[in-house]
Chains A and B, each alone.
Chain A
Amino acid sequence: MTLTLQPIKVATGFDEDGMIVLDEKQRLVAVLVHLSDENEVAPGQWYLEAGFGRLDGINHPVFADLDAAQEWISQCLARGR
């Protein structure tokens, strides 16, 4: 699955940038946030701030980088087919 990422500012209350993640039909499937260095549990990692459809739920993992995040999202979406 080809995902499209677009940078976006996310109002988490911290100085954090994020990415909106769109699927091949340009539907919003997830919002990822690059956690600030102030975060004490996963500084600098990517956090699944919100997921939609197949990604909606209580599972909000953190990823070392965007590649890992995209792979996880792709797998979740593929499982739903």
Chain B
Amino acid sequence: MHASFPSQDNPLIRKLESIFTLTDDERQALQNLSMQLAVIKEDQDIVREGDRPSRSCLILSGFTATYKITAGGKRQIVTFGMAGDIPDLQSLHLKVLDISIGTLTQCRVGFITHDDLRNLCTRYPRITAAFWRETLIEGAIFREWVTNVGRREAYNRMAHMLCELLVRLRAVGLVEGYSCDLPITQGEFADALGITTVHVNRVLQQMRADGLIELKGDRLNIPDWEKLKQAGEFDPTYLHLEIDQAAA
């Protein structure tokens, strides 16, 4: 089955083109990639730590969390996934998953078999390079998160995370001006930032009072991008985006 969207709206192509220049042939090959489409409800695991998947999961819409759980049952979210991401792409080469991936919202996903991915990579070495670049950038994001969670104060930590989310969402066309849908709960932010939900709420209230963010339901608006960037000490270099606009 092929995903039924035009090439310019294909989330995988959008995502890869934000970090890599694709030729028409390569774009077509990605567009022709077979995938099994599925809709997964919110708060469901897509894969679990210890799994040995024979396919990877492309997110077409919605948000996921990649996470690990301690023996005491505490969850650390190590990254958020969004349209265009293949959060378990590494399972193509690393046979056993060392993380779990769950949906935060209802997600539309496309499962791509490892056989198909391998064939694609064999036929199009530059797509292999693009996937490599993508996983290297994912590593850069993890390094940034360790620094953020380990060494910034909660307020700055949250500001940094919101900046990253906005820039990544903009790279796949999901931001209007400085507004985006961000259906991530305060509990989920707590698990990502390593602070309590109570603390997340205080920080968000303080950021609202300081004019850094406006939240209406799941809609985030950033009235003063420069101020938020400053609060988060945010420098988008680590996202290695090729599109200048995305890094604005």
Contacts and interface: CB of A to CB of B under 8 A. Distances in A.
The DSSP consensus for interface residues of chain B is: helix
A39 B194 contact: no
Interface string A21-45: 0000000000000010011111000
B194 A41 contact: no
B194 A35 contact: no
B205 A35 contact: no
A58 interface: yes
A34 B51 CA distance: 43
A41 B206 contact: no
Interface residues of B, number: 13
Interface in A38-78: 38-42, 47, 58, 60, 62
Given A40-B186, A41-B186, A13 B202 contact: yes
A62 B199 CA distance: 11
Q: Which of B186, B187, B197 has the most CB of A within 10 A?
A: B197
B58 to A, nearest CB: 33
B196 interface: yes
A54 B205 CA distance: 31
Given A13-B206, A40-B186, A47 B194 contact: no
8 contacts: A13-B206, A14-B202, A41-B186, A41-B197, A42-B197, A47-B196, A47-B198, A58-B194
